[in-house]
Amino acid sequence: MKSFLAFGLLLLTAFPASAQTAEVFVKGNGAQCWLDVREIVHRRGRDVTEDNQLQILRAGHFSTAAGDLFLTVQALTEKNKKGEEGCRIYVQVEGGGSLGVKGQVVNDLSNNTRIANSIAAEVASRQKALEKKEKNAANSQRAS
């Protein structure tokens, strides 16, 4: 129960505009998923800062008259409803200044969903390639 409460508090503090947060689940190794997401965001984004403990990345820094904007990506290891291991990727735009005021719309859910799906597709592709590589290595050891 404590872990559930801690997870809930984490989501509330990490994603204040949760209604606009896009999320997608990727099956596979959760720890590898975080590493892949980190690499993808660093490759695609600019001015990326990361919090390894909370597994949060903030990419970009766009200043507007109303405040600053950051793209926030979080990858959390968890299991889906079927009990399969993987990670859930969350994407949202965070705003500072007047953009951070509740009710101010800075997120476009369809755009956040597109970004989340793009990252998830690349993570899934990497996981499949890694599984194939491991399978080939195991088969070549058996043949030897």
The number of distinct structural domains making up the chain is: 1
List the CATH number of the domain containing 60.
3.30.530
93 vs 105, residue with greater confidence: 93
Expressed as residue numbers, the domain containing 51 is 17-143
Tell me whether residue 9 is in a domain: no
Facing residues of 86 across strands?
27, 78
What value does the CA radius of gyration of the chain take, rounded to a whole number of Å? 17
Q: What is the pLDDT of residue 41?
A: 92
**Chain segment 54-70, per-residue pLDDT in tens:** 999 998 877 767 677 78
- The helix/strand/coil state of 29 is coil
- Highest mean pLDDT range out of 74-78, 104-108, 113-117, 140-144? 74-78
The answer to the question of residue 129 being in a domain is: yes
| Residue 1 falls inside a structural domain | no
- Average pLDDT over every residue of 4-29: 61
pLDDT digits (tens, 9 = 90+) for 26-55: 999 988 999 999 999 999 888 899 998 999
Residue 30 in domain: yes
Q: What's the mean pLDDT in 95-109?
A: 57
Q: Is residue 31 included in any domain, yes or no?
A: yes
Question: What are the two backbone dihedrals, phi and then psi, of residue 28, each rounded to the nearest 5 degrees?
Answer: 135, -160
pLDDT reported for residue 88: 95
Cα separation of 13 and 9, whole Å?
A: 6
User: Residue ranges of the alpha helices (H) in the chain?
Assistant: 2-14, 30-44, 109-143
Residue 10, domain member (yes or no): no
